[in-house]
Amino acid sequence: MSCEKLHSVDCATKRIKAVGAVILAGVLTLAAGCSATGGKQAKEAAGITGGGVDTPRYTVAMISHGAPGDTFWDLVRAGAEDAAKKNNLELRYSSNPQAPEQANLVQNAIDSHVDGIALTLPNADALGPVARKAAQDNITTVGLNAGMSDYSKYGISAFFGQDETVSGEAAGKRLAKEKARKVLCVIHEQGNSSQESRCAGVKKGLGSAGSMEILYVNGMDLTSVESTVEAKLAQDKSVDWIMGLQAPVAMTAQKAADAAGSQAKVATFDTDSALVNAIQQGKIAFAIDQQPYLQGYMAIDALWLAKRNGSMPGGGQPVYTGPSFIDQSNVDTIADAAQAGLR
C-alpha cells in the first residue's frame, strides 16, 4: 500500500526511518575511511598535522658559536629545523662566535623559559657555568659539535658530535699515508678549543712521517685568509699539504696556493656543496665529515624526546656523528644531498 493511502502519522514515521537509514550508512562509510587511514582524516579535520606529531607545542633554543656566513652552521640549522618541524616544536636559533656573547644568548634563552636548550661549547670555561644554570632551572640541555670532553661537567644531558682529537688523529694518519712532509694546519678561530684539538690530533697522527705547523687566520675575513696563506706559502716552499678546519677556509687556501704558485695539496674538516664539488673536480683532496645536519637534527630530537617521555639518547656517553672521509672514491654518494643543503 502507498504512503498516501496510510494514516498521516504512519506516513511520517516511514519517512523518518528512511532518512535515518541513509544517515547511518553515511556515518558508517566515514568511520570506515578513518579506520583505514589510522585516523589521519580526523586529525587533519582538527588541524593536527604539524610536523607529524600531536604532542604539545614546546619551545626550544639552539645557541651556537657559528660565525656569519659559515656554511657549516647552515647545515646544523637545517637539521635542527627539520627535527623541530617533525616534532611540532618552535625553534629559536641564535649564534655568536664570541664566547661572552654566546653565553649571553644562552642566558636569554633561560630567561625566556624555553623548554629545552641545545648549545655548543667551544670555550667550556665561558659557557659551562651558564649551561649549568639552565640545567639547574630544570631546562633540559644538550650539547653538540664542540665541547665533547667537558659537557658532562655542567649538567648537560647528552652530546652529539665527533671527538676532535680522534678525528684530527685520523686526518694525520691519512696525511702520513699520502706521504706528507710538512702540513700547515689553519686555525680560523683563535681560542676555539675544538680547533686546537684538531690540529693537535693531526700532529699526533702524522707522527714521525712529517711535521706540522699551525697558522692562525681570521675566518670571518676570507680576503685576509687568502693573503695570509698566500704569503706563508710564498715564504715557505716546504709546505706540501694544507689542512683546513672548515670548508670556506679550505677553498680559500686552495686559491691562495694557486696564487702563490705552490704545489701544496689541500684537505679539510667539514663540507658544504661547493667543497663537495671541489672534491669531485680534484681541487680538494679529501674532507673529514662530522655530519653537521645530523648533529642539529639529533640535538633537537633529543630535547623533544626528553619532554615526550623523559628519555635521552647516549646513556651518559657522547653520540658520535663522525668522523668519516669523503674523497673522489665516495663523494658522488652524497653529492645530491650536498646540493640540497643536507650534507
**Kind plus residue range of the DSSP H or E element containing 63:** strand 58-64
Helices (H) and strands (E) in the chain, counts: 12, 12
Which H or E run includes 95?
Answer: strand 89-95
Phi, psi of 195 (to 5 degrees): -70, -40
Residue 87 contacts residue 54 (beta carbons within 8 Å): no
Alpha carbon distance 30, 333 (integer Å): 45
Assign 3-class secondary structure to 139-175: CEEEEECCCCCCHHHHCCCCEEECCHHHHHHHHHHHH
Sign of CA dihedral 297, 300, 304, 305: positive
Q: Are strands 324-326 and 287-289 parallel, antiparallel or unpaired?
A: antiparallel
Can you list the positions of beta strands (E) in 211-338?
211-216, 241-244, 265-269, 287-289, 319-320, 324-326
Closest of 315, 278, 272, 319 to residue 292, by C-alpha: 272
Digit-by-digit pLDDT tens for the chain (343 residues) are 444 433 433 443 444 344 444 333 443 343 334 333 334 443 343 334 444 788 899 999 999 999 888 889 999 999 999 999 999 999 999 999 999 999 999 999 999 999 999 999 999 999 999 999 999 999 999 999 999 999 999 999 999 999 999 999 999 999 999 999 999 999 999 888 889 999 999 999 999 999 999 999 999 999 999 999 999 999 999 999 999 999 999 999 999 999 999 999 999 999 999 999 999 999 999 999 999 999 999 999 999 999 999 999 999 899 999 999 999 999 999 999 988 888 8
- Backbone φ, ψ for residue 201 (5° rounding): -65, -40
Burial code of 296-314, b = ≥16 C-beta within 10 A, e = fewer?
Answer: bbbbbbbbbbbbeeeeebe
What pTM does this model have?
Answer: 0.79
Backbone angles phi, psi at 179, to 5 degrees: 65, 40
